[in-house]
Amino acid sequence: MSKVVEIDGSAVVDWSSFHDQFSTKMGFPAFYGRNGNAWIDCMTSVDCPEDGLSSVTVIKGATLTLQVSEASSWATRCPEVWAAFQEMIAFVNWRRIEQNEGAVLALSYYA
């Protein structure tokens, strides 16, 4: 079964606001490092609630879809953050596949 988390692309204006969005929407822990590596670690564990890295979880074998509204405005306003976001999603899935686990993240948006 899949789960969808809505991300407000209009609220992303820089790296700080990116981390604000995800920390709030995903329920990252208080010790979340607010950097790309910390984001990757939290999202890699989205199907491992026992890791305590996100209050939003899916069961093993399921996918978490990140549904981004206002994606084109985000991409225009902060192209480096938008590109890195997509690369981080790809890396999370690659890392899991390398560990013989399935991809866990999907990205959905309409420009």
Domain CATH number, residue 55: 3.30.370.10
The residue type at 25: K
pLDDT band at 51 (very low <50, low <70, confident <90, very high): very high
Percent of the chain with pLDDT over 90: 96
The 10s digit of each residue's pLDDT in 69-96 is 999 999 999 999 999 999 999 999 999 9
**Neighbouring C-beta atoms of residue 19, cutoff 10 Å:** 20
pLDDT band at 2 (very low <50, low <70, confident <90, very high): confident
Q: What is the reported pLDDT for 111?
A: 74
Mean pLDDT, the chain, as a whole number? Answer: 97
Contact 9/68 with Cβ under 8 angstroms? Answer: yes
SS3 86: helix
Q: What is the reported pLDDT for 62?
A: 96
As a whole number, mean pLDDT of residues 31-48 equals: 98
Residue 61 reports pLDDT greater than 90? yes
Contact 46/104 with Cβ under 8 angstroms? Answer: yes
**Neighbouring C-beta atoms of residue 54, cutoff 10 Å:** 26
Of 61, 57, 32, 36, the C-alpha closest to 45 is 57
Range of the domain at 102: 3-109
Residue 67 reports pLDDT greater than 80? yes
Residue 1 reports pLDDT greater than 70? no
Q: Using alpha carbons only, what angle is made at residue 89 by residues 85 and 91, rounded to the nearest 5 degrees?
A: 115
- Structural domain count of the chain: 1
Of 68, 104, 61, the C-alpha closest to 85 is 68
Q: What is the reported pLDDT for 77?
A: 97
Tokens of residue 45, six digits: 């564990």
